[in-house]
Structure 1
Amino acid sequence: MISGTVALVLVAALAACAPASGARTSAEATPENPLVLTLANNLDDDHVTSQALASFAEDVKRRSGGRVVVKIYGSGQLGAEPEVLGQLHEGIVDMTRTSAPGLATYAPGYHTFGLPYVFNSEQEFYEAMDSPQMAEYFRSTADEGFLGLTYYSSGARSFYTRNTPVRTPEDLRGMKIRVQDMRSQTDLVGGLGAAPVVMAFSDTYTSLQTGLIDGAESNETVLTESAHGEVSHAFSKTEHTRIPDVLVISTQTWERLAPADEQMLTDAARASTEQQKAAWAKTTEQAVAEAKAMGVEFITDVDTTAFRDASRPVVDRYARQYPEVAELLSVITAGKRGTP
């Protein structure tokens, strides 16, 4: 992650180069004078999803014959996700990869992806996310300033603790659990009887080490890639959320693309998702093996029915508060069942 000052300089430079109204379309671009699309990504370049984005960029160049070029600014070069989404709305950035709930600021339906047990298995997740209904939903936010091109898996999030296995909601009561700065996550953890602690991810290791917190929640890769397996020894497979990343494109940029290039970009994005699926599965498998060697115990006899029942009020509350959430829950249900 680079400094905020450098990020500001880069953003200012991009803003100066941002296309004005009536700028040329992709149909007018040539290999000698290509249409350059900026893509912001705050993940490290060696992350499995960053590698999928790199493949996407290469594929776009190949499919377009060099007329369209995707330039990736990785490792948070353009700032944190909320800042980049603002840049996307202003037309400074063309595309970005973001955690789906972060889009709820602009399209409340995206709160849905942060809610517990929306997907009960990996198979359900992929069925719903690959469905025509989800593709239609991704396109439905054009008036909010962006459209979804595709998604990437970030695995199933579970609770992991310093020492205490978590098999039922009662086991969480009174525990201090680090959560992301998302209301759905604080609502979930608080509703289960634990004390949600919002803190920077970079502070989580030390906080686990010193006992400032009792645990956190994430996917298995955090145990090895961030070494949390050194300071937490019980990973309980509650699999309470499956939060996708979404590759979004600015509506302003989308409208500058010829129809054939819209389809080309969509096809390249979907191809990168298929690549990322396989890579994510392999990465997770390796992380589990390495974490076990570090001494982490994986708790599989979790009462997921009890967790689902205990967290259901959170889902119901969001569905009542946001009609868009109720709508997307219906879309997901239809996608899982394969109904038209």
Structure 2
Amino acid sequence: MRNRRKFIGAAVAATAMLATANAQEAKHYRFAHDQQLNTGYSVAYDMFSARLKKLSKGTMIVDQYPGAQLGQEPQLLQLVKSGDIEFAIVSSANTATISPQAGVMSLHFLFRNADHVIKSLADQQVIDAIKAMIDETTQGLHVIATGSQGVRNIYSKKEIHSVGDLKGIKIRVQATATEDAIFPAYGAQTVHMPFGSVYTSLQTGVVDAAENSINVYLVNKHYEVAPVLNITEHEANNALVYVSDKLWQSLSAEQKQWVTTAAEEISAREPARAFELEKSAAAKLKSIGVKIVEDVDKKSFTTIADPYLDKLARELGPHAEKIKNLIRAIN
């Protein structure tokens, strides 16, 4: 009996020691973004963190910091570059603040429809070209995946049925050269500000309109201050997932492979999920009485925007032009 107790005691002690060793082996990493939960960004986190935990057998744990807890997107990019945050998902448009050629992803009507967005973001040639663009034009971080939050639409207090309805409108846009060229061509005045300031600016009249995906419009309650959603679908709401170079250089070859494989899950699966969120968000907005203008004359927009596709991509640089050509070639 005494020997049996000793055996059980030793087994319990060994189990405790093993649990302690495993806990010590597990490392936690931060994954930051500026959106709420139940958005494409949090979906990307869920996919990535679950797969990385499984691949690493629980030794690499990724914790989510949503809602701009660690900063707005331009700040997040700087924190990843400095190694103060390990992972972040940031719009390709805000990426243009550190790599201007990333603005190519914001070209209006570059993508034909939702399927084209999904296929393009999963295309290995497109992904490799984006990775090369970031690696060759900036330092301190690397792209590991592409993501989506659907496509962008214009919301305001007034209905927009054609490009003429934008004349003189002050609209908050992302700070890219492409936005600053195309929206004025529509007759609008562009205004830049952090995403977190959009609600108050719409409320106080600092801007008349803003633009984003349907689900982002919903979860951030922008419909409260801009109750008309105009389905312009003028731009893909692309995102890029980053790893800091500081972390990347510290990882073993095996760990790098785990991160790469987990990130591939995002590019392959998250964009389709983002468009599902868009559909459910539109249904919810209708149910609460938001006015959704679906009969927007998109041709009035594309007539102006199409000539800018080649011109702006060429002006942005060789990486931008290559990415544009690869995306346009996808059927």
**Which residue is equivalent to 2:34?**
42
Which of 134, 137, 142 is 2:135 aligned to? 142
- Which structure 1 segments of 5+ residues have no match? 1-28
Question: Aligned partners of 2:68, 2:230: CA distance in 1, in Å?
Answer: 30
Give the whole-Å Cα distance in 1 for the aligned partners of 2:83 and 2:194: 28
User: Is 278-287 or 186-195 further displaced after alignment?
Assistant: 278-287
1:201-216 aligned within 5 A: 201-209=195-203, 213-216=207-210
Shift of 1:61: 1.6
What is the letter of the counterpart of residue 142 of structure 2?
L
Give TM-score, length-normalised by structure 1: 0.79
Match of 1:241 in 2: 235
Measured in 1, the distance between the counterparts of 2:60 and 2:96 equals 29
In structure 2, relative to structure 1, the CA distance for the partners of 1:142 and 1:123 (3 Å cut) is same
TM-score (norm 2): 0.81
**Deviating more after overlay: 244-253 vs 276-285:** 276-285
Task: Return the alpha-carbon distance in structure 2 between the equivalents of residues 168 and 180 of structure 1.
Answer: 21
In structure 2, C-alpha distance between the alignment counterparts of 1:224 and 1:126, rounded to whole Å: 22
Partners of 1:63 and 1:48 in 2: how far apart?
A: 23
Identical amino acids, percent of aligned pairs = 26
State which structure, 1 or 2, has the greater radius of gyration over its C-alpha atoms: 2
Structure 2 residue 148 is matched with structure 1 residue 153: yes
Residues 38-74 of structure 1: per-residue CA shift (max 9 Å, x gap): 3222323454422430342232121111233323333
Maintained 8 Å contact 2:130/2:323: no
Q: Greater CA deviation, 228-237 or 261-270?
A: 228-237
Question: Which structure features the higher share of helix residues?
Answer: 2
Aligned partners of 2:28 and 2:60 also within 8 Å = yes
The structure-2 alpha-carbon separation of the partners of 1:223 and 1:333, relative to structure 1 and needing over 3 Å to count, comes to closer
- Which amino acid in the other structure matches residue 320 of structure 2? V
Question: RMSD over aligned Cα, in angstroms?
Answer: 2.7
Secondary structure of 1:150 counterpart:
strand
Structure 1 equivalent of residue 327 of structure 2: 332
- Aligned match of 1:95: 87
Deviation at 1:207, TM superposition (A): 4.6
May I ask how many residue pairs the two structures share in their alignment? 307
- The 3-state SS of whatever aligns with 2:76 is helix
3-state SS of the aligned residue for 1:243? strand
What amino acid does structure 2 have at the position aligned with 1:155?
A: G
What is the identity, as a one-letter code, of the residue corresponding to 1:219? Answer: S
- Which residue in 2 is equivalent to 1:72? 64
**Which of residues 149, 165, 187 in structure 2 aligns to 1:171?**
165
Distance 1:58 1:109 in 2: 32
1:81 alignment partner, one of 73, 82, 91: 73
d(CA) in 1 for partners of 2:84, 2:221: 36
Q: Quick one: distance in 2 between partners of 1:267 and 1:332?
A: 23
Q: Structure 1 pair 35/292, CA: closer, same or farther in 2 (3 Å)? A: closer
- Per the alignment, in what secondary structure is the counterpart of residue 240 of structure 2? strand
- Please state how far the C-alpha of 1:308 moved relative to its aligned partner: 1.5
The residue that corresponds to 2:7 in the other structure is: none
8 Å CA contact 1:138–1:147 kept in 2: the answer is: no
**Structure 2: how far apart are the matches of 1:268 and 1:301?**
40
Query: Are residue 124 (structure 1) and residue 120 (structure 2) matched?
Result: no
Q: Cα distance, 1:175 vs. partner?
A: 2.1
8 Å Cα contact 2:202-2:208 kept in structure 1: yes
1:139–1:230 distance in 2 versus 1, CA, 3 Å: closer
